[in-house]
Amino acid sequence: MTDKREITLTVNGTERTVEAEPRKLLVHAIREDLDLTGTHIGCDTGNCGACTVLKDGEPIKSCLTFAVQADGSEIMTVEGMEDLPEASGELHPLQEGFREEHGLQCGYCTPGMIMSGKALLDENPDPEEGEIREAISGNLCRCTGYQNIVKSIEYAADELNKEPAAADGGTVTAEQRFADDDFDCGVENCCGGPSTETPHVEGADPQFDDVGGDDT
């Protein structure tokens, strides 16, 4: 029961090793071994989504995953959001959206909401309200009534769809941007361009190339 195994995770672009019992939950490894306490625990049953992180680009509930199951994977938590290229070192448009639209109150569900929001926008850059509600249906919030969370994600979608500036100085619409099938923003599982079909290159994480992350 207590035999520990060494596992390696690439967390927010940085390779980290953790000694973990096979039964240790990924969320405990993230919070207690990696000291990334932005990922929260809100239930025992996988219902609340406060522990949502991205594993190889997919949203997962880290309280339903053993740490050893994540060995070798890329994990992204809320702490990594500001390091994404579209955040340019400040709040990511999703985080900005939550602030602008008052999409949070106590903040406990917020990191999980943001990760589910990111997973949605990576796949569907211009979601309808119903699609947003569906995408966050695995994340419970007791404070906001969800309305402003939906608006926060819509805000982020609008902001992300504005960038980058078009050659004429105007903004590029989502339609223009994705009209070109070959469009590649360089971020895995992002922008509707390189999708989950894109071959995953072990060890390479283009999301963090421009922020000088320590990969060792």
> Residue 175 class from Cβ within 10 Å (0-12 exposed, 13-18 middle, 19+ buried)?
exposed
Contacting other proteins (CB under 8 A), which of 23, 164, 166, 195?
23
Measured N-to-C along each axis, helices 147-162 and 110-123 cross at an angle, to the nearest 10 degrees, of 50
Of the ranges 145-153, 171-179, 186-194, 197-205, which one interacts with other proteins (CB under 8 A)? 145-153
By CB under 8 A, is residue 102 in contact with other proteins? Answer: yes
65 binds other proteins (CB under 8 A): no
Q: Which is nearer to other proteins, 44 or 181 (CB)?
A: 44
Q: Residues binding other proteins: what is the number (CB under 8 A)?
A: 60
Binding mask 113-132 for other proteins (x = CB under 8 A): -x--------------x--x
Contacts of 145 (CB under 8 A, 6+ apart): none
CA 210 vs. chain centroid, Å, equals 18
Q: Confirm if 16 and 34 have CB atoms less than 8 A apart.
A: yes
Minimum distance from CB of 66 to other proteins (Å)? 12
The only residue of 4, 43, 173, 203 in contact with other proteins, by rule CB under 8 A: 43
**Is residue 52 near other proteins by the rule CB under 8 A?**
no
Would you count residue 147 as binding other proteins (CB under 8 A)? yes
Return residues touching other proteins (CB under 8 A): 21, 23-24, 28, 31-32, 35-45, 47-48, 50, 77-79, 81-82, 91, 95, 98-102, 104-111, 114, 129, 132-134, 136-137, 139-151
